[in-house]
Each structure stands twice: as structure tokens, then as C-alpha cells.
Amino acid sequence: MTSDTGRYAIYFAPEPGSELAQFGAAWLGYDVATGSDLVQSPIAGIAPERLRAITTEPRRYGFHATLKPPFALAEGTDAGMVNQAVAALARDLPAFAAPRLKLASLLGFWALMLAEPCPEMDRLAAICVGELDRFRAPPPVAELARRRIAGLSPAQEALLVRWGYPYVMDEFRFHMTLTARLGAEEGGVVSRALAPLVAPHCQAPLPVNTISLFRQESRDKPFRLMRRYVLAG
């Protein structure tokens, strides 16, 4: 049994210090590169305590788009082995320009998504899920049950059983989550507040030059950026 009780994930994350990274950190109130909590800027129409509440869950994961969902380490593996495997993977994968971002609702969760389909992004996520699966410990029964509460399609159920997560492979949707699930009225208020903040980041194609390894020390701790890998294929 591995002695590492943390969880790992492979994410797309903007370069630390970039304008997109600064926006995400400021909106969520957390910087994944430094592990620092930040004071969120006042947002018109949203009380500070409500803004804090609706960003609690995405803040725990940090500003990112998931490529390989969070996983505990399989028996006989360790962080060094994961690092080596991701580095080798990145050396073989090419960088690319994804379509521009757009603000959209994904089942009530407001997020930055891609404005158009991107086969390169879908392929990158599928490779990360498949090639690194040997490091993933089977999820606990309670976690599987929690996933099923939302009501999964047969395809999503099959993905959950095979890969430990229902929204991978054909069900993958690139998204950089900004809020919890919101009702229509509150979602409208939040989206109108977000629109001018995200507009500068939605004008040009999204460069995908790196993938990142994140680690969560324990379930009650936020994820932290551990290392970035240049796509050099």
C-alpha cells in the first residue's frame, strides 16, 4: 500500500503570472502556483460572502481544465513515477492552438469553455486518461455511489466503471470552472458580472503548450500546482 495519501491530477492550467492565470486566481480567491489565498475583488450585484460561497468548490481545485481527473495513487506507485511518466508523455505530445474561450453554463456551472470543437484537446485528454491510468487506485465505493447520485447515462456508467470517472473520453468537455451550480436567476446575475471580466481572455486562440501536475495533500486541502511540462512532440 502506498504511503502517499494525497491525490494527483493532470490539468491544463495557464502559465503562472499570465493574464488568464491572474484572472482565475483573483476570481476564485486562490493562486494554485503559490498556494496562497487571495482577497476576492468586489463584484457588482454579488455580496462578498455569496461570491465566496459560490466559488468554494472550484477554489479547492484551482483554476484549471481537467485532463485526467483526480486520483489516489495505486499500490506500488509513487509521485516520482507519475512525474516521470507525465514528463515522457509531454515529450511526445505536440503543442497546439485551441479555439478561443467563451463564457458558458455547463449544467448550471459557469465556466470558460472552448468556442468550437477541438479534436486536439479531446485527444490530449484521452491520452492523459489512458496512458496514466496505471497510477490510479480504484475509487472507494462511497465515491462511486456519490457519482451515481447525479444520474448517469449508460455510457457514463461504463466510463465510471472503467476509468473511475464518468466524464472522460467521449464525455469529455473542456471547461475551466468558475462557480458552483447556480439557478437560472442567480446564474444570470453572475454571468453578467463575469462577462466583462472574461472578455479580454476570449479574443484569441488558446495556446496549449504545457500540461500540469497538481497535487492535493488531503481531501480538505486545495490542489496545488506541482510541475508544468512542455509539450514538445
CATH number for the domain harbouring residue 224: 3.90.1140.10
- Give the chain's domain count: 1
Residue 162 lies in a domain: no
Which grid coordinates belong to 43? 463584484
Residue 51 lies in a domain: yes
Residue 132 lies in a domain: no
Residue 157 lies in a domain: no
CA distance 93 to 232: 6
Q: Is the pTM of this model over 0.75?
A: yes
How far is CA 23 from its chain centroid? 15
3-state secondary structure 75-108: CCCCHHHHHHHHHHHHHHCCCEEECCEEEEEECC
Q: How is residue 116 annotated by DSSP?
A: S
Residue 146 lies in a domain: no
Residue 166 lies in a domain: no
State the pLDDT at residue 99: 98
Residue 37 lies in a domain: yes
State the pLDDT at residue 155: 97
Whole-number Cα distances in Å, 2 to 21, 73, 75, 77, 140: 33, 7, 5, 7, 15
State the pLDDT at residue 5: 82
- pLDDT (tens digit per residue) in 167-200: 999 999 999 999 999 999 999 999 999 999 999 9
CA distance 47 to 4: 39
Residue 151 lies in a domain: no
- Residue numbers of the domain that contains 69: 7-118+173-230
pLDDT per residue rounded down to tens, the chain (233 residues):
467 889 999 999 999 999 999 999 999 999 999 999 999 988 988 999 999 999 999 999 999 999 999 999 999 999 999 999 999 999 999 999 999 999 999 999 999 999 999 999 999 999 999 999 999 999 999 989 999 988 899 999 999 999 999 999 999 999 999 999 999 999 999 999 999 999 999 999 999 999 999 999 998 899 999 999 999 98
- Judge contact between 177 and 167, C-beta under 8 A: no
Q: How is residue 54 annotated by DSSP?
A: H
* φ, ψ dihedrals at 99, nearest 5°: -60, 165
Packed helices 79-92 and 119-131: angle between N→C axes, nearest 10 degrees: 150
State the pLDDT at residue 2: 67
- Using CB atoms within 10 Å of the CB of residue 209, give its burial: 0 to 12 exposed, 13 to 18 middle, 19+ buried: middle
